[in-house]
Amino acid sequence: MNSLCEPDKKDLDMRLKKIEGQVRGIQRMIDEDKYCVDILTQINAVRGALKKVGLKILDRHTHGCVQRAIKNEEGDAIINELMDVLTKFTN
């Protein structure tokens, strides 16, 4: 179980569908020999969009799962887990 409510899920689903379309668009740009810098600009856009999705889920997770675990005296384990995933997120 995660901490995403229905409106969150709808919003994320819409964002990910758009990202999926953009990834397909990048394949097409490569296929059609489009200019490298234009492909890179599109890659930057997708990376930014994915980061936003990640930050949104991180936010929901911290407000939800993490907060609940802390109130149940299980904070340290879930915070360690959060820090691990966050460290990778900053790479």
What residue ranges bind a copy of itself (CB under 8 A)?
1-4, 9, 12-13, 16-17, 19-20, 23-24, 26-27, 30-31, 33-37, 39-41, 43-44, 46-48, 50-51, 53-55, 57-67, 70-71, 75-76, 79, 81-83, 85-91
CA–CA distance from 54 to each of 1, 8, 33, 51, 67 (Å)? 17, 12, 31, 5, 18
CB of 8 to a copy of itself, least distance (A): 9
Sign of the Cα pseudo-torsion (15, 16, 20, 23, in order): positive
